[in-house]
Amino acid sequence: MSSQNKSTFGDRLNEWKLFLWNSNKNEFLGRGGKSWALITIFYVIFYAFLAALFCITMWVMLQTISEAKPRYQDRVSSPGVMIRPRGFSQSKGIEVTVDPKKNATVMKYMSMVNEFFSRYQKEQHDVKDCKDGEYRKRLKEDAEMPACSFNLSLLGDCADPEREYRNGTPCVYIKMNKIIGFIPGNGTHSPQVSCEGHKGADIGPVSYFPSNKKLDIKYFPYFGSKYDRHYLQPVVAVRFENLPLNQKSAVECRVTGASIKIDENRDKYLGRVIFRLQRID
């Protein structure tokens, strides 16, 4: 039985060799030279055609995309509101834990705030002081815009987040998401931030920095990443002076002003932000 197997294996090997290279018929893998040439030409043309089709499609797409303005803008042209620092879990939403005795927790939040602050602290070349209460104006079409300066000293005590956090009076920083061309306010009145306990939750007293609570209209509109590379968003800091201890308090901060929509029922982040704060003793 074993000898029979061996001869079968030898036969197979010879068949394979013949298939690989048949010197009688001059065939490689069962095909002659002419057949190989034809099949090669076919595939070269086929793939060249596919590549050309891909390139043409991309080219046509790129022609329709403008770098400055999205062509297909979301129908919702009212901005969402977001906070820093922001601890986030998919199931629980935004949560910030204030635990002054745990240095690791303090450091974690401080690194988030410092990252957020770094944009405002950079050596600012293309920044100018803009006049309060006036919209930004484009000086030239197709030219880069200088950013309007936002000096972190406007945030008062909250410009030093670590001190406040260690005191158990954490600061939370509120901003609106950037939307190209969005113009809030009504020309004279800037949007304002206000925070309360969500659905009557007790959050204790709060203070605002700057105290006028304004996101000044001089920072609007935003012209997009091509023309507004140095853009700085206005921020309002909210300090929680006496959070109830050892419980999660739901906070709702709203940005109110002309043309800012708030969806009371469905969207937690449109025109407002809802998050939970917990101060641990």
* Tokens of residue 10, six digits: 């030898």
> Is omega for the bond preceding 184 within 30 degrees of 0, making it cis?
no
CB of 121 to ligand NAG, least distance (A): 8
CB of 120 to ligand NAG, least distance (A): 8
The total number of residues shown for the chain amounts to 281
CB of 215 to ligand NAG, least distance (A): 14
For residue 269, give every residue at least 6 positions away whose Cβ sits within 8 Å of its Cβ, in sequence order, or none.
80, 81, 82
Coarse DSSP helix, strand, coil percentages of the chain, rounded to the nearest 5 percent: 30, 25, 45
Q: Which is nearer to ligand NAG, 149 or 177 (CB)?
A: 149
CB of 222 to ligand NAG, least distance (A): 20
Q: Which is nearer to ligand NAG, 119 or 268 (CB)?
A: 119
> Is omega for the bond preceding 221 within 30 degrees of 0, making it cis?
yes
CB of 258 to ligand NAG, least distance (A): 6
Q: Which is nearer to ligand NAG, 22 or 256 (CB)?
A: 256
Q: Which is nearer to ligand NAG, 66 or 103 (CB)?
A: 103
Tell me which residue of 213, 252, 261 sits closest to 234, measured CA to CA.
Answer: 213
Q: Which is nearer to ligand NAG, 107 or 143 (CB)?
A: 107
Tell me which residue of 80, 117, 83, 78 sits closest to 275, measured CA to CA.
Answer: 83
3-state SS class at 264: coil
Give the CA distances from residue 52 to residues 39, 62, 113, 162, in Å, rounded to whole numbers and listed in that order: 20, 15, 49, 58
Q: Which is nearer to ligand NAG, 24 or 188 (CB)?
A: 188
Give contact residues for ligand NAG (rule: CB under 6 A): 103, 107, 149, 151, 153, 186-189
CB of 145 to ligand NAG, least distance (A): 18
